[in-house]
A = this chain, B = another copy of it.
Amino acid sequence: MKLNSDSQTRNMLKAAKLYCTEVRIAILKVLMKTDKPLSQEQIARRLGKKHFDKVTIYRTLESLLKVGLVHKAFIEKRACHYELAHNCTASQCHPHFTCTSCGKTHCLTEISLPMAKSPHKGFVIQRQQVRLEGLCPACA
């Protein structure tokens, strides 16, 4: 229900000490409704008739990123993709799989890799991201 997800997103924002603004609520809702990381453009498109400037969208994602509500995925295109920090531990998201044939990206939430161990040369590893490449069920 609209009211429900509204109050849910409001609570998320409140907990993160961010102003509850229209864009933030709208973007969080978009991200809650998808199972793939989305680019700024895709997010804008899914906001439908609600138009926000792309600068605003970028800044919104940035603020959500800073408080950890959202994660940034480095997939294979030029554009970064964003997704709700959800089903991720503090130190790692699920792997992202990109099909070399059709180019689509999927979140493989069922699998996870053990955390890399620092090669004790003084590196402190805080997070890891895994990018997988291959053929998706449709193309295999």
> Of residues 87 to 140 in A, which have CB atoms within 8 Å of B's CB atoms?
95, 97, 100, 106, 108, 110-111, 113-114, 116-119, 121-137, 140
- Contact between A127 and B137 (Cβ–Cβ < 8 Å)? no
Q: Which residues of chain B are within 8 angstroms of A110 by Cβ–Cβ distance?
A: 119, 121
What interface size band does chain A fall in?
35 or more
Interface string of A3-45 (1 = CB under 8 A from B): 0000000000000000000000000000000000000000000
Which of the residues B97, B121, B126, B140 comes within 8 Å of A134, measured between beta carbons? B126
Which of the residues B78, B127, B132 comes within 8 Å of A133, measured between beta carbons? B127
- Contact between B140 and A124 (Cβ–Cβ < 8 Å)? yes
A85 proximal to B (CB < 8 A): no
Q: CA separation between A97 and B133, bound complex, in Å?
A: 19
A47 proximal to B (CB < 8 A): no
Q: CA separation between A78 and B80, bound complex, in Å?
A: 8
Question: What residue of chain B has the Cβ atom nearest to residue A95's Cβ?
Answer: B116
A75 proximal to B (CB < 8 A): yes
Q: Which residues of chain B are within 8 angstroms of A132 by Cβ–Cβ distance?
A: 116, 123, 125, 127-129
- Contact between B123 and A136 (Cβ–Cβ < 8 Å)? yes
Give chain A's interface residues, CB within 8 Å of chain B.
Answer: 74-76, 78, 95, 97, 100, 106, 108, 110-111, 113-114, 116-119, 121-137, 140
